[in-house]
Structure 1
């Protein structure tokens, strides 16, 4: 198999990256594109005590099994299929699915640290940066963590102030200027996201023909 065309997609927490990815993937057939996510490589929370888990910083490059993440990307380059348990946000009530990640001509690599990890950044052919104003991103984060995941409000705010924002400033924001496409997503209008993914996917098809 020839080397896939590799697109790196990173965004701040609350930037709308998940919705963007779903819209983008819908432009392609399953055999045309595949996705590998940094989130599925978190070092297991059960390796830490309960109190450490409460304050544990998941927004540091060391919270990811960086070597396994890189090795699986390289295996996809070699035409191998990856079997990986999905990340369940440390919820013991959720049984993780086993993800089957098959090689494809287009490979999406997504995650907060994909530009910071030099060995992964070097593999990328095209970089997309998704961002939002901090107040907008925080509102989305609170809605997700309080309503969807049942987290404590004070805990969410502590992590936002002490973990999320400093990590974004140090490990993602410095790479904004090197990205091929920067999408500012301050609205929750799905039409704008669909329009953006239409343009990017059309341009991508021209690149890989």
Structure 2
């Protein structure tokens, strides 16, 4: 099994890069796990209390569960991935049933900031995109998909998103094996990554034969 971690700031294009691997090799060979689904469950708190949590800090994630699930996949076992409801700032009662595949892609802002998670990755990728582009993408996503107001998105960006990016996410770039500037717009960088995964698949098939 090959495990690829794709990190980068909010709106950098991580999901686009991850999907490019899936498009190239297919869902039978690639499983995508989003770190966002592993936000710690705070359902015991009130909605007002949950809304005040700093969701851009590394401690907002339950990486221990993510690592446990990754270990289960390496053993050929199935897992139940949590589903996070961003409109409620809490986990849904439903889960996502996932089977192991030859390639696992883990995508999220803090994939490279956690030392234990880094050690579990075979290829570490950082998607590096201009801050102006990232904030515009976040505004579009949060207002259209997560029911947020423009004022709340801008306020969160200023108070937590940018400070946490500067403190944790940007410095984690030094751990990357591959840096892809401009995310989904960088066709050459994406092609390099997909070529690596294709090479792994070819080697795997050769060994099986």
Q: TM-score, normalised by structure 1?
A: 0.85
Q: Which residue of 2 is the match for residue 151 of structure 1?
A: 148
Alignment of 1:127-142 (within 5 A): 127-142=124-139
> Over aligned residue pairs, what C-alpha RMSD do you find?
2.3
Unaligned stretches of 5+ residues in structure 1: none
Q: How many residues align?
A: 201
| Cα distance, 1:8 vs structure 2 | 0.7
The DSSP-based 3-state class of the residue aligned with 2:148 is coil
| Cα distance, 1:53 vs structure 2 | 2.3
Measured in 1, the distance between the counterparts of 2:93 and 2:105 equals 21
- Contact residue 30 and residue 102 of structure 2 kept, 8 A: yes
Q: Which residue of 1 is the match for residue 31 of structure 2?
A: 34
Measured in 2, the distance between the counterparts of 1:120 and 1:95 equals 24
- Contact residue 14 and residue 108 of structure 2 kept, 8 A: no
Unaligned stretches of 5+ residues in structure 2: 204-209
Measured in 1, the distance between the counterparts of 2:36 and 2:175 equals 23
Q: Is 1:180 aligned with 2:180?
A: no
Alignment of 1:8-157 (within 5 A): 8-91=5-88, 98-157=95-154
* 1:166 corresponds to which of 163, 176, 198: 163
How far does the alpha carbon of each residue in 1:26-60 deviate from its partner, in whole angstroms, 9 at most, with x for none?
Answer: 11132312122211111234222222223221111
